[in-house]
Amino acid sequence: MSAPGSEVLPASARLFAPHVRLYGEINDDLFRSFREQVERIDDSEITIELTTFGGDADVGRRIREDIRILTEHCGKTLWFAGRTTVYSAGATIMSAFANRRRFLSKGCVVLVHERKMDQELKLDRGMQESIREIDQVKAEIEFGIELERRGFRDLIAGSDVSFDEICDRAARNWYITADEALKRKLIAGVF
């Protein structure tokens, strides 16, 4: 099932036998697996399958950046096949693909949420040093928000989801079914 006007997945980009299979937590090991699998591929079209409950947001960003480079500078056509769950940092990876090259398996769910921060701030220093520490944490939060917004913009490009809507829904954890993603033009088809 595909959205009207979407690209049809070519035979060389296989949904059932993808070139790259990524399963599990998005971490350094998954990144190494991604790189090893991609480096063995000679094809000009690559299908990447992903199933994840999420993980390290910065590793997700790194994989997204490698996908962008492969697409923009190496002449590769990349296809995304999300299976079962594409949560959190997985949605960051998914955002690297044009919506016309994204596919989800029937029953797959994508989770989009705000970046989270786990940091305790204890102020037991002089006032000036405490202000500097607060400013550093504030700068880290503001930068995290900017990174989040870039990813959101990439994820919704070409869809009918507005930037305000994704920000609002992400604040409350947006679980997007494959059918809803297709209806909202976030993906090209469900398989």
CATH, residue 159: 3.90.226.10
Name the pLDDT band for 2 (thresholds 50, 70, 90): low
Which pLDDT tens digit goes with each residue over 89-99? 999 999 999 99
Task: Report the C-alpha gap between 91 and 114 in whole angstroms.
Answer: 11
Residue 3 falls within a domain, yes or no?
no
Tally the domains of the chain.
1
Which pLDDT tens digit goes with each residue over 108-144? 999 999 988 778 888 888 899 989 999 999 999 999 8
Residue 2 falls within a domain, yes or no?
no
Residue 10 falls within a domain, yes or no?
no
Flag whether the pTM goes above 0.95: no
Neighbours of 147 (CB within 10 A): 15
Residue 102, classed as helix, strand or coil, is strand
Task: Report the C-alpha gap between 110 and 184 in whole angstroms.
Answer: 13
pLDDT at 51 over 90: yes
Which pLDDT tens digit goes with each residue over 147-184? 999 999 999 999 999 999 999 999 999 999 999 999 99
Contact indicator for 94, 110 with CB cutoff of 8 Å = yes
pLDDT at res. 160: 97
Name the pLDDT band for 4 (thresholds 50, 70, 90): very low
Q: Which domain holds residue 134?
A: 20-190
- For residue 43 the two structure tokens come to 């094809």
Residue 135 falls within a domain, yes or no?
yes
Residue 9 falls within a domain, yes or no?
no
pLDDT at res. 120: 84
Residue 122 falls within a domain, yes or no?
yes
Chain-wide mean pLDDT for the chain? Answer: 91
pLDDT at 10 over 90: no
Residue 125 falls within a domain, yes or no?
yes
Residue 46 falls within a domain, yes or no?
yes
